[in-house]
Structure formats: structure tokens, C-alpha cells
Amino acid sequence: MHIRVLVLLISLPVLAIAGGENNGRGARPIALANAFVAGRNSPWSTICNPAALASCHDYAGTFFVSPRQFGLEELRTISAAGVVPFDGISVGFVLGQFGFDLYQETEFTIGAGVTVDDGIAVGGAFNLTRFSLGPYGAATVTSYDLAALLDIVDEMRIGFEWKNFTAAKIGGSGESLSQILAIGLWYDLTSDSHMTMEMEKDIHFPFSLKMGFEQDLLNALTLRIGMSNNPDKVSCGLGVRVAGFELSYAGYSHPQLGWTHQVEISFTMKQ
């Protein structure tokens, strides 16, 4: 028991450095080393880049779970996300929970993306996060994100997101939520092969460089790999599509904590 608590105390600062940081949502983004700020057609765009919701023209929903991050039940993550398209705008939401009885983050995010010109989309998101420290109390924080997505050519686009641009803080503690700037490039090598690169900067920490690659096979299987630094990570995953549903897996390796795994099931429904 004492060993588990010690590992947990070491792990929490690594996985949620400033509180409210994305602990990992979505098998596809995770398998691509979270280099997804220029990705699109995903309910996870709500937290990765809400401007990309403008590319979602069908109803979509997904359920994601990482039951025992690095073998610890205390680091469990469960999330659900969805997209509802309207005329000229698409709205997405994410509801998730991370942690255990003595430390828990519960998050709700709603975002929207709209195309403002040919190849140009903008978006934003509202985040409501509750931090609970068991018998020691809880605090609820609101924050906001801004984002844009620009098509350079048909095969290439650039994404940008500024998370928590209002510099929200946690209660009276003065502890800041993560403020993150991310810019990334997505390139379609072919209709079945895709490469993504991203540079991310938390204002309190060094730059993180990320890259990922995915390959579609036989119209039913997708293989994904990724890597990033600060901290150094290697990731991989796959997705299997059948009749409008996709079952996905992602795993990644942390230099101190080893491998961890997550799974997801999602669906897409035409309007």
C-alpha cells in the first residue's frame, strides 16, 4: 500500500502538471502522440482544436477509458464526447473524470467551430473543471480556449489553439491552470497515409515537439504511431471500423512509468 501511494504521488505531477491539463483523451490523438491540433473529423476536436469541429458534418459519439494508467487504478480516466452538426456550425462536448477518491478532476467542455471563409475555420470552447481533494474540499474553475484551422492546400492544413487564454486560477490558492499554446501541421501524403507534427508550449515548461503517422488499410483498419519529447514518449495504436462503429486502442510509454493502455469505441451517423 505504501509503495502504491508513493508511486501515485510521484505520478500525479507528471500526468497533471498544473491541474486541469489533458490527462489523455481519445485513442486516436494519444496514438499520434497528441499531435492533433491540426486533426479534424473527431469529437475530440472539442479539446484538441474546437475550430476543427467545423469539419464534422455527421453526428458522432465516443466513449474512452484508461482503466489503470501505468497499472494504478487511482489514475483511471473515463471520458465521453460527441458532436452535433447544425447549419453552418458544429457543436461538440466532452465529459470526463480523472483520479480517485482522494484526488479527482471532473471536466465538462463544450465547444463550437464555424467556417468563416473558404478553408478558414475558427472556434472556441468553455471548460468547467471541478477539483476534489476528498475530505479536504473542492474547487470549481471555468476557463476558455480559442482556436483556428487553416487549409494551405487540399493536402495540408495548419491548426492553432490557445488553451485557458484568460489565465484562470484554482480557487483562492492562486494555482494557475495550464496555459498552453499549440501550433501544428497535418499533411495527407496520400488518401490513405497521413502525417502530423505539432509544437506545444505550456507557459511554465519547455517546448514539446510531437509527431505522428497513420496508415489506413483495406478501408477498415488504421495503424498509428507517434513520438514526442518533454517528456520523451513513444506511442502506437490501431482502429478497426465496422458498420459505422470504430474500436480503437492506444498505448504509450513514459520514460519513468513504463507503458499504459487505453481503449475507445465510437460511432458516426449520417444526418
**Per-residue pLDDT tens digits for 106-127:** 999 999 999 999 999 999 999 9
Contacts of 9 (CB under 8 A, 6+ apart): none
Which three three-digit cell numbers place residue 183?
Answer: 501550433
For residue 201, the SS3 value is: strand
Q: Please give the pLDDT value at position 43.
A: 95
Work out the number of other CB atoms within 10 angstroms of the CB of residue 188.
14
The total number of structural domains in the chain stands at: 1
Q: Please give the pLDDT value at position 173.
A: 61
Q: Which of 161, 139, 131 is nearest to 47 (CA)?
A: 161
- Peptide linkage before 43 cis (omega within 30 of 0): no
Q: What separation, in Å, do the N-terminal and C-terminal C-alpha atoms of the chain show?
A: 51
Place of cell 484554482: 170
Q: Please give the pLDDT value at position 169.
A: 86
At residue 176, does pLDDT exceed 90?
no
Domain enclosing residue 178, as ranges: 2-269
- pLDDT class of 69 with cuts at 50, 70, 90: confident
- The DSSP bridge pattern shows strands 180-188 and 156-163 to be antiparallel
Bridge-partner residues for 112, per DSSP?
A: 91, 124
At 237, which CATH number?
2.40.160.60
